[in-house]
Amino acid sequence: MTTPSRILVYGVYGAGKSTLAAHLAERLKLPWYPVDDLLWQPGWVEVPVALQRRRIEEICRRDRWILDGAYHGWRDVPLARADLVVGLDYPRWCSFGRLLRRTAQRLVTGEEICNGNRESLGSVLSRDSILVWHVTAFGRARRRMRVWQADPSAPPVLLFRSPAALDRWLARLSGG
């Protein structure tokens, strides 16, 4: 496979999409567009889906990009243009454990996530908690990645079932 220039990193919340996207962007010298920056305004106000879609369309018209997610109102856009989908198809315990550690760390440090937004104890304990989202979205995200991988009309999909498998692929990945 030639080195891809349009990559969609996909997986459930907490799997490590953003971390991987940042690593691939540096390694492959591709621009990374963090999806959270495009979807959330300050105060955790969601950008209207139509505007999200326009933003994603504008990025995906370019020849070089990495996105670290794809959501309901515009998932078709990056899939139509991606050279490669990297799916983080880890077991629930792995991705949820990562999400729990990351969320706890962000609560302690006050780390900014995007556009001035931060985790708070109230947000973590709410019905809209990212922890709840993980539990409810896990099966759908996993099925979606597997359907994409089986679809001959879709871009190539590399599914990684463990962080160790991803690490082995990254070690073999050409930097140019």
67: region left, alpha or beta (phi > 0 left; psi from -120 to 50 alpha): beta
pLDDT, residue 173, reads: 85
Across the chain, the runs of DSSP E, i.e. the strands, are 6-11, 32-33, 40-41, 45-46, 65-67, 84-88, 112-114, 117-118, 157-160
Please give the average per-residue pLDDT across 84-110, as a whole number.
96
Whether pTM exceeds 0.85: yes
Sort strands 157-160 and 45-46 into parallel, antiparallel or unpaired.
unpaired
For the chain, domain boundaries:
6-165
Q: Average per-residue pLDDT in the chain?
A: 94
Give the architecture (CATH level 2) of 6-165: 3-Layer(aba) Sandwich (3.40)
d(CA 25, CA 30): 5
pLDDT tens digits, 107-152: 999 999 999 999 998 888 888 899 999 999 999 999 999 999 999 9
CA atoms 134, 137, 140, 144: torsion sign: negative
d(CA 35, CA 51): 13
d(CA 124, CA 89): 24
The percent of residues in the chain predicted with pLDDT above 70, rounded, is: 98
pLDDT tens digits, 42-66: 999 999 999 999 999 999 999 999 9
